[in-house]
Amino acid sequence: MRTRIKICGLRTLEAVQTCVQSGADAVGFVFYAPSPRAVTPLQAKPLALALGPWVTPVALFVNPTVAEVSEVLRAIPNALLQFHGDESPEFCAQFAQPFMKAIRMKEGIDLRLELDRFNQAQGVLVDSWSEHFGGSGHTFDWSLLAEVSGCGVPLILSGGLSDGNVAEAIKQVKPYGVDVSSGVESHRGVKSPEKIVSFCRAVHLADSKTLF
């Protein structure tokens, strides 16, 4: 099985087009105002349309209101929802829309319990722990995921990934997908087309070594 690729925090048409041309499976748009990668529904709509029919737009939220999620869905009705805050399973599921839940990993987190709680999710994104919401740009101890290996729930690995370490991450974790944001940026909040291409190539190469 190949590793799916999600590039998160897109704000420009150039970056979106680079993701599509490089073979990304999903592109994330951040609807969390404090983030340097935040966009409005109005800004995100043409970017999502540029993805074409076979690349999934993902709408990332942190403790949103129902109205905020609904506004984004009016702009991007085919979005996969991604919740990064303290949202309950009931909140995430109420929109009758496919969703993922992010879990910030550290010692003491019962990942099996979280997977059971969010059993209606399309997948669970495991990220590094941070006192603040949003990615930390650092990796975490991937051995924490060993307890749920083969659990049947799609795991998307995030946190500090780059073209330099994603092959090792795939080898160790064997995730359903990988999610990158700061690892493909020239500076905070600004995506580098060259780094996007390099990251996708690294994932494809890692998969080819696994399959053959």
Active site residue ranges? 8, 127
Instruction: Find where tokens 């064997």 sit.
Output: 174
Q: Which residues contact 203 (CB under 8 A, 6 or more apart)?
A: 3, 5, 166, 167, 170, 178
DSSP per-residue codes, 148-210 = GTT-SSPEEE-SS--TTTHHHHHHHH--SEEEESGGGEEETTEE-HHHHHHHHHHHHHHHHHH
The residue type of 50 is A
